[in-house]
Amino acid sequence: MQLIVGFILGVVASVLASFVFTWLSAIFPFERQRWIVAFLRNPILPFKLLRRGEERRIKDCIRRLFQSWCNKDLEKYLACWADDCVRVMGSVSTVKEDKNTIAQKFIRSCKRYSEISTPVIAFENIRISPDSRNAIAEVYYRFELIRAEDSLPAVESSREFYSLRKSGDEWLIASNIDYFTDVGKIQ
């Protein structure tokens, strides 16, 4: 008798768990769950980002970077990068871009896409060096793009690391590995 009751309770619990999971997935789509995952991985970081500390300044720099993409603002975009910055094209690539090349690629992307948005930017970790002059930010983001040539949407999600360097009171991106794969032929 206990075996039958246990089996029935197990089935009921499984059905309830499936229902709750489906319900939560509808409320919090996968892309939105990144904030929850980021919080669970590093529960102290959201509180540090609320204060006016170095972590907040790093977050603000990276947010300005993504906002300048959405606004297609080259001047603000380049202001986020150090003069001697380097961007590596993929984790196994030896192709490196300097600030001028980064600017040219930004201009081409702004022409290629009529709309650029980043509805999800989740800061998963920010590590500041002991001397407080360098930092690494781990950021998950989602680009939603509309191609200019045919108005087709393109979606790109990625998790990237940004190396930042403090210059005066300002944090600037010194390097990053670009995992974003552009849609169509790269010019």
Residue 37 lies in a domain: yes
Residue 98 pLDDT: 93
Q: What is the percentage of the chain residues whose pLDDT exceeds 70?
A: 88
How many whole angstroms separate alpha carbon 93 and alpha carbon 25? Answer: 36
The domain of 77 spans: 29-177
Total structural domains within the chain? 1
| Antiparallel, parallel or unpaired: β 81-88 and 170-177 | parallel
pLDDT in tens, 71-94: 999 999 999 999 999 998 777 777
Per-residue pLDDT, averaged over 4-23, amounts to 77
Residue 124 lies in a domain: yes
> CB atoms < 10 A from the CB of 123, how many?
23
pLDDT in tens, 35-64: 677 777 878 888 888 888 999 999 999 999
Please check whether residue 153 is in contact with residue 177, taking contact to mean a CB–CB distance below 8 angstroms: no
Task: Take residue 69 and report the two structure tokens written for it.
Answer: 């993409």
Residue 68 lies in a domain: yes
pTM > 0.85: yes or no: no
Residue 184 pLDDT: 39
Instruction: Write out the DSSP string of 80-125.
Output: TEEEEEEEESSTT---EE-HHHHHHHHHHHHHHEEEEEEEEEEEEE
How many whole angstroms separate alpha carbon 173 and alpha carbon 83? Answer: 9
Query: Which residues neighbour 137 within 8 Å (Cβ) at sequence distance 6 or greater?
Result: 58, 59, 62, 123, 125, 126, 161, 162, 164
Please check whether residue 139 is in contact with residue 28, taking contact to mean a CB–CB distance below 8 angstroms: no
How many whole angstroms separate alpha carbon 31 and alpha carbon 183? Answer: 20
Q: Residue 168: give its domain's CATH number.
A: 3.10.450.50
Residue 187 lies in a domain: no
**187 pLDDT tier (thresholds 50, 70, 90):** very low
Please check whether residue 63 is in contact with residue 79, taking contact to mean a CB–CB distance below 8 angstroms: no
Residue 7 lies in a domain: no
Residue 141 lies in a domain: yes
Residue 34 lies in a domain: yes
Residue 33 lies in a domain: yes
